[in-house]
Structure 1
Amino acid sequence: MRIGVILGDVHTSVSPKDHLDGLLRQVEAAQRNGISYLTIGHHYLYGDLRWLQPLPTLARIAAELDEHVTLATTVIQVPLYHPIALAEELATLDILTRGKLVVGAGAGYRKDEFGYFGIDFTKRFAMMDESLRLMKMLWTQDVVDFDGRFWKLADGHTHIRPWQEPHPPIWIGAMKDAGVRRSARLGDGWPVTPETKIPEMVRLMALYEDERDRLGRPHVKHPLRREIIPGRTSDAAFERFESMAKQRLLAYAARQLATRDADELTREFRTVAAKETFIGTPDECVAQIRDLSALVPIDPILVRAQWPHMSTEQVVEYLDDLGRDIVPALRQVDSVDRVVRDAVV
């Protein structure tokens, strides 16, 4: 079992210089501690938080990349790009990483971001489907003719092929049945959100596998977005997570992305954390991961090391704890190849 780190946002009060310096220190610490994936999300006009744009940021990190590390977008909002531009930029990034790239793709969820670009939010799923189809053609064909609903291309002579053949793996984000089927049809893995409860995870992965069977496509393991919070004691782990993440989780709840509202999160933070994270002593964290990996095909687990108010020293300390107590133990853990459909959870 492998671990990846999401390179998150920082408050805009942090200077660009300090942001970059902290980012590169985080990258160094992650790689030194055996982290296998470095990933970054994608947003525009994000208010008082600065989220660096993923493609140039990952291109910069590619210069620091260790042999055992893969970069990933988790996830890039595909409808906000023209597919020709996105296909060529991702192919370029795949070359710069020497084939160490995963494309995490999503349709987006913030209506205001689509409004900034004058793009119809209600058409985002259809746009993503069409864009991915065209991008795959641009990655694999010498000449492309495409007559779609949103984009048309006649006699397009391609000039940038990805390093990986036929193209980088694609993780397609989804939260509902139709999206999971889309992920099975068009991608190579479904990034599972942290608030997905285990019974729903089992059900949706079974749905994914049924769709893959129908299409004659191979089964895969899925990246799981879930925090790993080790502490000297269980209480210390919960206190650590509260100091790291509580305010941000309340902000997510206010944006209606969390499964509970802000008042409920405040009252029941530990209850929510126990259900949506791997938390406790290092042995308890590993046991929780081992139990879940016996039910569903997951790999890697994507954690967030940096929350907006954390100092770089706190981020490095967390990564050092993972490298000492979690990463070596998880190397001995493997997940099932297919979801256990009759699991009692």
Structure 2
Amino acid sequence: MRLAIQLPQSGPRATARGILAAARAAEAAGIDTLAVTERVLWPVDPVPLDASGATGHPPDHQRTLYDQLEVLAAVAAVTERVGLITAIVVAVLQPPAILARRVATVDQLSGGRLRLGVGQGWMRAEYEAAEVPWKRRGAGFEEHVGAMRATWGPDPVSFDGRFYAIPPSLQGPKPAQPGGVPVYVGANAPAGIARAARFADGWLPVGGLDDTWEGLERKLRAFRSATAELGRAPLPVHLRLHTQVSETDLDARSPLAGSPEQIAGDVARLEALDLGVEEICLNQTQRGVPFGEQLDATLRVRALLDPSPTDHAQEAAR
């Protein structure tokens, strides 16, 4: 199982120097992937949080949040091996030709280490600020990804869709990875899972402390079934979890929460299910856990999964 960690790009204590130091430390310790996220704005007034009609605010740490692609461009310059993933870009808030070039640039700067996690977003206020119609959230999302992929193909590129059009053009740079940057679709609802199965290169579900094993397994099986029904080979899953890593065992807990020993046991359970989960991100940022403590917790889990330290971890220890 590959392990990812969220970079400290948000909150009042986030700094450029701190982000880069965290990236170096994580790579030296043997972390597989560095994750970043997106929040365009933090509304002063409460906003709808979900379809239930409940209102509130995004997490407090997202009041300040460094832009994820710029962060990854800087991180690419100070790392050599570690993978990079956006979790996630609200794709339709940017024109596809522009976002595609930004993504291709980061992939080139990183030597082909980027995976692009994209989603539809949930906050109407961000669509209003970007001057993008809310109704495009669902209908335009798949087409947007198609337009980006078109720009990553051979020149001249062109695209003619319902929402987006790119005239015959030359556009570079192309991504470093042949065929383009792998696109992971972030989705939890049934319609989103079906959409990811239809056109994504991977799936990026988000879990929390209110999840159950039954619910998680049901979603994983739904995604696997949807890809099979379309005649597609099984796709990889990057599981992002807003979780808790505790010093001691927890009695009542969600999947991949609790002590490092409990989480390592959960990883073994996930691997036994064999439903495509190749990487997990144990993200405690919403709980206010400093990056250093999150890194230590993730490494404790790693040590239980792989008792022999990696060369990177040995180097960090020295």
8 Å CA contact 1:194–1:277 kept in 2: the answer is no
| Secondary structure, counterpart of 1:121 in structure 2 | coil
Shift in CA distance, 174/322, structure 1 to aligned 2, threshold 3 Å: closer
Matches of 2:279 and 2:159, distance apart in 1 = 35
8 Å CA contact 2:107–2:181 kept in 1: the answer is yes
1:21 corresponds to which residue? Answer: 17
**Offset from partner CA, 1:18-49 (integer Å, 9 cap, x none):** 62222223222222222111011111122662
State yes or no: 1:163 paired with 2:163.
no
**Offset from partner CA, 1:111-153 (integer Å, 9 cap, x none):** 1101112211122122211111111111113123322111122
Amino acid at match of 2:171: T
Q: Give the C-alpha shift of residue 106 in structure 1.
A: 0.5
Q: Give the C-alpha shift of residue 175 in structure 1.
A: 1.7
Shift in CA distance, 197/120, structure 1 to aligned 2, threshold 3 Å: farther
1:95 corresponds to which residue? Answer: 108
More relative contact order in 1 or in 2 (CA 8 Å, sep 6+)? 1
Shift in CA distance, 84/286, structure 1 to aligned 2, threshold 3 Å: same
| Secondary structure, counterpart of 2:278 in structure 1 | strand
Shift in CA distance, 211/23, structure 1 to aligned 2, threshold 3 Å: same
Amino acid at match of 1:60: A
Across the aligned residues of Structure 1 and Structure 2, the Cα RMSD in angstroms comes to 2.3
Q: Matches of residues 177-196 of structure 1 in structure 2 within 5 Å?
A: 177-195=190-208, 196=211
Q: Matches of residues 267-306 of structure 1 in structure 2 within 5 Å?
A: 271=252, 274-280=253-259, 282-295=260-273, 296-306=275-285
Q: Give the C-alpha shift of residue 9 in structure 1.
A: 4.9
Q: Matches of residues 220-235 of structure 1 in structure 2 within 5 Å?
A: 220-227=235-242, 229-234=244-249
Matches of 2:219 and 2:287, distance apart in 1 = 31
Q: Give the C-alpha shift of residue 198 in structure 1.
A: 2.7
1:260 corresponds to which residue? Answer: none
Matches of 1:215 and 1:319, distance apart in 2 = 39
- Report the count of equivalent residues: 286
8 Å CA contact 1:226–1:276 kept in 2: the answer is no
Matches of 1:306 and 1:203, distance apart in 2 = 26
Matches of 1:322 and 1:179, distance apart in 2 = 29
Gaps of 5+ in 2: 44-59, 308-318
Amino acid at match of 2:21: R
Shift in CA distance, 109/227, structure 1 to aligned 2, threshold 3 Å: closer
Give the counterpart of 2:65 among 38, 51, 60. Answer: 51
Which structure has more helix as a fraction of its residues? 1
Amino acid at match of 2:282: V
Percent of counterpart pairs with the same letter?
26
Gaps of 5+ in 1: 239-269, 333-345
Shift in CA distance, 172/159, structure 1 to aligned 2, threshold 3 Å: same
1:2 corresponds to which residue? Answer: 2
8 Å CA contact 1:227–1:277 kept in 2: the answer is no
State yes or no: 1:40 paired with 2:36.
yes
Matches of 1:305 and 1:206, distance apart in 2 = 26
8 Å CA contact 1:33–1:320 kept in 2: the answer is no
Q: Give the C-alpha shift of residue 60 in structure 1.
A: 0.2
Amino acid at match of 1:302: C
Q: Matches of residues 139-178 of structure 1 in structure 2 within 5 Å?
A: 139-178=152-191
Q: Give the C-alpha shift of residue 229 in structure 1.
A: 4.4
Matches of 2:191 and 2:204, distance apart in 1 = 15
Matches of 2:276 and 2:149, distance apart in 1 = 26
TM-score (norm 2): 0.82
**Offset from partner CA, 1:173-210 (integer Å, 9 cap, x none):** 11211211111111122112113533233333333223
Shift in CA distance, 91/20, structure 1 to aligned 2, threshold 3 Å: same
Q: Give the C-alpha shift of residue 307 in structure 1.
A: 4.6
